[in-house]
Amino acid sequence: MGQRTSDRDLKPVLAALKKPHLQYFKEFYADTASFGSRKAIEHAIEFFGEDRVVFASDAPFDPEGGPMYIRETLRILDSLDISDELRRKLYQDNAVKLLGLKL
C-alpha cells in the first residue's frame, strides 16, 4: 500500500515493444494548460509535434478563479513565433480532429 513501484518483472513487456518506449509517449496528446509557462508549451510542440497539442486551460484553478490562465495561455500562443497554420491547429484544428468534430 502506498508504493509507487511494484515487484512485478516488466522486462517481458519492454522486450515486446516494437519500437523504443519513448516513441509511444509521442503518440499522446498534450495541451497548453501550463500555468502560464511559455517554455512548457514550446517543448510540448517540439516533443509531441504540431498535430498533437491542443488548447486547454486549468480554469477555474487560478488565483482569479478562471480567467487568468486562459488569458495567459492566449497571450503566450499569440506571441509564439509560429505560422498562422500552426496557431490555428493549436487553437482549434487539432482538437476538432482528435474529437472527431465537424465545424
pLDDT per residue as tens digits for the range 50-81: 999 999 988 888 889 889 999 999 999 999 99
Domain-embedded: residue 15: no
Domain-embedded: residue 12: no
Tell me the pTM: 0.83
Give the structural domain span for 28: 21-99
Domain count, the chain: 1
Assess contact for 26 and 49: CB atoms under 8 A.
yes
Assess contact for 55 and 75: CB atoms under 8 A.
no
Backbone angles phi, psi at 53, to 5 degrees: -125, 130
Domain-embedded: residue 11: no
CA 103/CA 97 separation, integer angstroms: 10
Domain-embedded: residue 76: yes
Q: What stretch of H or E contains 47?
A: helix 38-48
Domain-embedded: residue 47: yes
8-64: pLDDT as tens digits = 888 898 889 999 989 999 999 999 999 889 999 999 999 999 999 999 988 888 889
CA 37/CA 73 separation, integer angstroms: 8
